[in-house]
Amino acid sequence: MTRAFPSVPASDPPLDPHQPWVFGYGSLMWRPGFAFVERTPAQLAGFSRDMCLTSIHYRGTAEAPGMVCGLSPGGVCRGVAFRVAPEALADVIAYLDRRELISYIYLPRHLPVTLADGRRVVARTYVPDATHAQFVGGWSDAEKARHIAQGVGSEGSSLDYLANIVAHLRELDIADARLESLLAQARAARA
C-alpha cells in the first residue's frame, strides 16, 4: 500500500490560481526541475536555512546518512521564488511532492514570501517535520559536518550539495556565515 503524501494544512492560505509561486531555499534554487515563467530572489520570514535533515536517499544511505537542507524556526530565509504557469501547477506540485517527500520528512506548506521587488505572494515550500526521525536540528555543527563529509547517495555527495548551496547563495549575494563555516568543517572532516 502506498502512503499518501501529507497535505497542506487547512490554516495555510491558498496559492493564487492565476499566479502560483514556489519558494526554494536549497537545491531548488539551482535545479528546480520544472518550467517557470518568472524567477526572482525572495525571502521567507519565520524560518532560517539549516542543514538539519539526515539524508538516506539523495545524499546518503541508511548505513551512512548524509545531510540536506531544511528550515528551522526563527529568522528569515532568503532564497528564490519561481512563478509557474497556472495550467502547469498540478504537474509542478506532483513533481515536487515526488521529489521532496521521498521519505516524508518535509511538509508541504503555502506561506507568504516577499519578492525582491517588494511584492508579497503565497508560495508553496517544503518545511521539515520536526517530529520526523531524520530531523536533527539540535545536532552540533561538528556532528553535521561529519555526516556531510560521509554522505553519498543517488544524487551525489552531501559535501557537493552544500558547496552548491553556498555557491548559489554567493551568486545571489546572500551571506550565510553558518553554512560557510559548516562547509569548511565538512571539507576538513573529509580530508
> Could you tell me the three cell numbers for 23?
519558494
Catalytic, 87? Answer no
How far apart are alpha carbons 61 and 185 in whole angstroms?
A: 21
Whole-model pTM?
0.90
How far apart are alpha carbons 109 and 9 in whole angstroms?
A: 7
Q: What's the CATH code of the domain at 178? A: 3.10.490.10
Nearest Cα residue to 187 out of 133, 148, 155, 137: 148
Which amino acid, residue 56? I
Q: Is residue 141 part of a domain?
A: yes
Catalytic site residue from 38, 63, 87, 100 = 100
Q: Is the pLDDT of residue 105 over 80?
A: yes
Give pLDDT tens digits for 144-161.
999 999 999 998 999 999
Q: Is residue 14 part of a domain?
A: no
Mean pLDDT confidence for 30-34: 93
Residue numbers of the domain that contains 120: 23-190
Alpha-carbon separation of residue 27 from 79, 99, 183 (angstroms): 10, 11, 15
> What is the tally of structural domains in the chain?
1
